Structure 1
Amino acid sequence: MEERGSRITSVDVIPVGLRYTHDGPPTGFGGAQWTTLRYALIKVCTEDGLVGWGEGFGYNVLSATVQVIRDTVAPLAVGRDAANIAGLMASLKHTLHLFGRGGPTHYALSGLDIALWDLAGKRAGVPVAELLGGMQRREIPAYSSLMRMPDPAAVARACEKALSRGFNQLKLHEHTVEAVAAAREAVGEDVELMLDVNCAWTPGEAQRIMERLVRYRLKWVEEPIYPPEDFESLARLRQRVPLPLAAGENLANAWAFKAMLASGALDYLQPSVTKVGGISELRTILTLAEMHGCAVAPHSPYFGPGLLATLHLASHSPLIDQVESFGVRLETPLFGAIGLPDANGMIRIPDGPGLGADPDPDVIEACRIV
């Protein structure tokens, strides 16, 4: 039964580029040099005057995500019941599956789903975590996810600066043993180090290099093999080298995670709420992970509503013991200090209705990409 006033009247997408600085020269991922952090904000309005905010994955595919929201998702969502999240999302996923069960189509649906949960929390007057089953914690540790650096010396300097800002868990985006060695020497033995390779190696290269990395006691090695769908090679690697493996930011939906879990390839699952289908799909992935006894370390190098959604999922789920915080300093934060680590590397879970905060309209206008 439709709740009074919950019919969707508009779905708008606002591309933004948030300005930032970091400890190193200009860099980026996916073959591009980043000057801003680019996100697709989704604004969903309902008949009763409520506004929900979501985020579809952006960065190098921002324009594609924006176009799918404007041309495909918005026309299908307007007029539907925002309170029926499960029904609406199931209908849209089925209708649009011909155009991709991942990629920009699913990124757009992810943003809509997050906005619907924000609306649901606001309508109920409770945080999203309460709708998920209850807030099990009020704050959570964050690890600093550093940008890629040009050489081992720069890696060491970036790690030292991250420690000075209160972090005791750091993730590198490097490809060499020398860079990891420099990081471990800089931070000492008590700091947790993680390594994200971004699918840089073949299976043979991964085994050879990771055997040399064992001595540096990494908490996990992330996406060591290309292509990321090669679950069999990941499983063999996990058996042969005593380092925990993590992956999942490039998996499209819960069905893909089901297959990866069945392969026994991973110690940590890394779904991205702005990619995988939003809060609803990530909730399913958490259930799958629990059934397989696998930890979850969400992919969340963003600072929009997707980060707040990740925090609410982390507040609810005991499978998540830390969250990813992009190792940059925002010049234009969308939520002020909300969602950002404190001096001890902890992030407080927003406890207001819905996601707990709306984007600052002045920041949106200052950072809007026309």
Structure 2
Amino acid sequence: MNIASIETIPLRIPFTTGGPSAGGVWGPKDLQVVDSLVVKITTDDGTVGWGETFGFTAIPSVKLVIDRILAPELIGRDIGLREKTMLDLQKKFHVFGRSGAFIYGLSAIDIALWDIAGKQANQSVHQLLGGAEATSLACYASLIRYADPELVAVNVRRAVESGYRHLKLHEITVETVRAAREAAGPDIEITLDVNCPWTVREALDMTERLREFNLRWIEEPVWPPENYAGLATVRKQGGIPVAAGENASTLMDFQHLLEAGSVDFIQPSPAKMGGITELQKVFALANAHNVTVMVHTFYDGPGLLASVHASAALGGPKALVEWRYFDLEAQLYGDAIIPRHGRIDVPQGPGLGLEPNPDVIRDYRIEL
């Protein structure tokens, strides 16, 4: 069975976040739409697989790379040679960068090929990965940055009342974290993603001030994200567990993170770092270093499903899934993947287990 066509589908879906968002690495202040790029691969026998690449402002460049460079290389290839194909393309195009548009595009393609493989075998992706005990996994509500203590408190209470026992903040001030802890109470697990803002010295000063809030981890506290030695220093001296990895793009990046002793939690992002094929290797590496994998999942489509399947099969029943705590106007999978009481179902159907709603694709597709 060979690849017959590859289609890139950009979507733009309005959302609210319980108040105006602050500006952040994902977009400008008061962002009210979320862009995503879904990839549809069709084989010569008509089997369809779905993938997703990391979105936001990266979408136009990734779409261009897939349409103009990667798709022509892939048409006609045997879908059974998935891992060899991904390696061939990484090697062929490595001179154009080992991060960004090329790896993001390959990630979406790889996820779609796993979807096809599962449909061929009549098995779910988590079965292909070895099987899963859990039929649902706990989620953490990943809040957008508000930069306003009152808004943080309101949305923390909203998430807790919805059944979430685990939360992620994207705040960068002590006052907003204090507001979150006071609103959540002592029994709710809170993690903090600050998106690489500080020097090592600044990060250590902040961890000293943040220690009282009993954070499960602080995520990417150091600029630049590849300063693995700096992360290791914060981990050793800061008194708060450290998480990182969403900006790592290749297996070697993850190996270097782990060898440097930089993290307590490692966070591969399957829509950014090579898809499920590479994600399963990160789980093996992390296990060898006694580090916990917490898959980064700041998306809502096939990339999210890939994370759920991999977490269920390779992370075990206590794995956590990141749920982007947006109120989207439309969901690509309707209600089927929305968490209930803080838990998300592990799809049981073949491949990724769910099919995108064609009406959502029709109504929210945009031209680039």
Would you say the 8 A contact 1:196–1:222 is kept in 2? Answer: yes
Partner of 2:35, secondary structure, is: strand
TM-score norm. by structure 1 comes to: 0.96
Would you say the 8 A contact 1:7–1:81 is kept in 2? Answer: yes
Superposition deviation, residue 18 in structure 1: 2.1
Counterparts of 1:120 and 1:150, CA distance in 2: 44
Tell me the equivalent position of 2:297.
Answer: 300
Counterparts of 2:19 and 2:198, CA distance in 1: 24
Opposite residue 192 of structure 1, the aligned amino acid is E
Tell me the equivalent position of 1:23.
Answer: 18
Counterparts of 2:261 and 2:21, CA distance in 1: 38
Equivalent in 3, 7, 11 of residue 6 of structure 2: 11
Q: Please give the root-mean-square deviation of Cα atoms over the aligned residues, in Å.
A: 1.1
Partner of 1:52, secondary structure, is: strand
Gaps of 5+ in 1: 1-5
Superposition deviation, residue 136 in structure 1: 2.6
Would you say the 8 A contact 1:11–1:44 is kept in 2? Answer: yes
Superposition deviation, residue 19 in structure 1: 2.3
Would you say the 8 A contact 1:32–1:60 is kept in 2? Answer: no
Sequence identity of aligned pairs in percent?
43
Tell me the equivalent position of 2:326.
Answer: 328
Superposition deviation, residue 331 in structure 1: 1.4
**Are positions 1:67 and 2:64 aligned together?**
yes
Superposition deviation, residue 26 in structure 1: 4.0
Task: After superposition, give the CA deviation of every residue in 1:67-106 in whole Å (9 maximum; x if it has no partner).
Answer: 1110111000000011211111111111111111110110
Equivalent positions of 1:1-370 (< 5 A) are: 6-30=1-25, 31-33=27-29, 34-318=31-315, 321-342=319-340, 344-370=341-367
Counterparts of 2:206 and 2:6, CA distance in 1: 47
Structure 1 residues 369, 27: CA separation in 2 closer, same or farther (over 3 Å shift)? Answer: farther
Counterparts of 1:236 and 1:334, CA distance in 2: 41
Superposition deviation, residue 28 in structure 1: 4.9
Would you say the 8 A contact 2:21–2:145 is kept in 1? Answer: no
Partner of 2:12, secondary structure, is: strand
Counterparts of 2:93 and 2:129, CA distance in 1: 26
Task: After superposition, give the CA deviation of every residue in 1:118-155 in whole Å (9 maximum; x if it has no partner).
Answer: 00000011101111111231110000000101311111
Counterparts of 1:94 and 1:167, CA distance in 2: 42
Task: After superposition, give the CA deviation of every residue in 1:18-55 in whole Å (9 maximum; x if it has no partner).
Answer: 22221111445325243322111111011111000001
Would you say the 8 A contact 2:235–2:242 is kept in 1? Answer: yes
